[in-house]
Structure 1
Amino acid sequence: MQRKKTSLGLLGFTLLLAACGGGGSGGGDKGISTMEDATDVSKAFADVAKQALVGEAFDGPDVGIFSKPAASDTGFKTIIAPSIRKIVNEDVPPETVFGDCGGSSTTSGSVSYDDVNGYPVTADLQVSLDSYCQTLDELYSITLDGSVAVVVDLESELAGSTEAEVDYSYSTDAPGLPPSGSFRQSASCTFSNGVDNIDDDLDCTYTTYYQGTRGEYEATDIVVTGNNDSGYDISATVVDAQGNSFDAMFSGLTVCANGNIGSGSGTINFNQGSIDLEYISCDEMVITFQGNAETVAQ
C-alpha cells in the first residue's frame, strides 16, 4: 500500500474547537477545608462561566477558519463537522485567510492518504492566529492571537476521529463579554456514519483549562443558556489539580463592562460539601462555605 503526501497549503481551514464536554473525574476533596480553598475554587468557576459566555457570543467566518471557542458540544459541532467535510471533499480555503476587520490566520501541515483506495487519510495541521479579527453583530469585534494543533484521521468514508488543542488570547469591545482573556482547550471526537450524517453522529469529549492558585483546573460538561439581558444560566464540572471533582450551577449571571460578573448566584457541589456564591457588584462576590460568609474580589 502506498501513501501519498501533499502540502497542506490547500488546507487552510482551521477547526475551531474547544471547550467543553465529557465527564469529570472523582476525587477525595483533598484540601477543600478553608475559605482560602473555597475562594480559589469559586474564582476558577467564575473564569469558567465568563469564558463560556465568550464561546457562545460569536461564530467562525464562512471559510471555516478557527476563530470560535465553542462553549458547548452543539457550538463545537457547528465548526468541526463542516471542517471534516472540507477534508473529505478537498473543499478548503487557502493557506492564509484574512480577518474581516484585520489580522490573519495561517495554516500549515500535510495530508497523507492511500493513493489506491483513498483511505485512510491523515491530516496534521498547525494554525497560527495573528491578530485575527472578526466582527460581531456588525458593530463590535473580537481579535485572537495564538495557535491551534489539529490531527484528523479518516479510517474510511464512514468512520474517523479528530484530536485538537487550542491555546490563544482574545480581546473584544462587545458589551456583555469579558474584554480580554485566554483559552487553552482540547477536544477528541469520533464519527462512524459518514460525513453526510456527521452533524448528528459526531461524538466528542471536550476540556477547557484554567489556572488557579491551587494549580490547574480542567472544566468539562459546560452548558450555557440565556443572554446578558435576562441573565445566563451555566452548569459545569471542574476537576482541580488535587483530583477533586466539583459540579456547579449558576443562574441569572450578567457581565459588566470590566468583564466581571455583575449579578447572579451559584452553587458548587463536591463530595464533602458545597460552596454558595452571590455576585453583588462588578467587583465583588460573597462566598458562603461551612456556614461562614465572606466578601471577596472577583
Structure 2
Amino acid sequence: MYVGRFAPSPTGLLHIGSLLTAVASYLDARGRHGRWLVRMEDLDPPREKPGASAAILATLEAFALHWDGEVVYQSKRHHLYAAALAQLRARELVYPCYCSRKTVHAQAQGMGVDGVVYGGRCALLGTDKRLCTDKAPAWRLRVGTELISFFDAVQGWQQQCLNTDVGDFVLLRADGFWAYQLAVVVDDAAQGINHVVRGQDLLVSTPRQIYLQQLLGLPQPSYAHLPLLTNALGQKWSKQTQAPALDLRRRETLLRQVLVYLGLPQAPQVDSLADLLDWAVQHWQLGLVSPQAIVTA
C-alpha cells in the first residue's frame, strides 16, 4: 500500500508553500488509494514557536486535509535516533567532531551543494589526540566516493558524490539536538513511508538520506520534489522570507490557486472544500507537475 506523509516543522504558521506541499502529498496518497500521515518535525526547540504545532494541525483540518492515524512527534522518538547512531558507531562509520563553526569554514574543502564541504579534520585524529575534550562533540558520518543516483518523479534523474559535494555530515549536533538527515530516515522507515512528496529545497538532501538508508539497511522510498514557490525577487516563500501565514478566510481561493500550480485544470464550482479535494484527487497526475520554480508575486 502507498504510504505518504506531510512533515512540517513547528517554527511558524503554514504559508502558501507549505500548503502546496501538503496538498500535493495528500493528492498523491489519496489518488493511489493510500494512507497520508502527518509527522511534526519538532527537533529544534530553540527555533520552534509556541503553539505552532497545534496551529498547523488546525490549519490542515480547516482545509479538509484529514490525515490517517495519530500525529507523530519527533521530539518523542529520541530513542530511535540513538539506536540508529549506536548501530553506526558499532561499525565505526561515524566519529566525534570537536570543530567549531569557525574551524569548519576555515578548513573547508570548498563550497558544496548545501554549504561548505567539511575538511575532515576530526576524521584524521585519534581519540588520544582530540584537542577539545572538555566539550561535547558532534557526530559525523563518513561518506564514500561513489555516486548516489536516484530518479525523482518531478525533477528527473539526480546524482551526487557525497565526498566532494557534501563531505562527512552531522547526525547529532554538539548541542545535543538530532540532525534532520538521521531523524527523517529513521522515521520514514519506522512509519512505513514509501513515497515522499516534498519541496525542491530538500532535493540536495536526498542523496545523504539514501546513503543512510543503505548503511542502516532501510528501504528507499520513491521521491518527488515539488517546484518552489518564489516571490517577485526570486526568493523561496518561507518563514525566513516573511511568507504570510495562510488566510483561513480565503481557503477556497488559496486551495484553487495551489491546484493550478500543481498542473490541474480549472476546477468546477463545488459546495465544499472536501468536494474540491475529491475532484482534485480524481484529476491528479504527478506527471503534470512542473519542475520549474513558480513566481507567485
User: What is the TM-score normalised by the length of structure 1?
Assistant: 0.31
Give the helix-richer structure, 1 or 2: 2
Q: Say which structure, 1 or 2, has more relative contact order (CA 8 Å, 6+ apart).
A: 2
Give the strand-richer structure, 1 or 2: 1
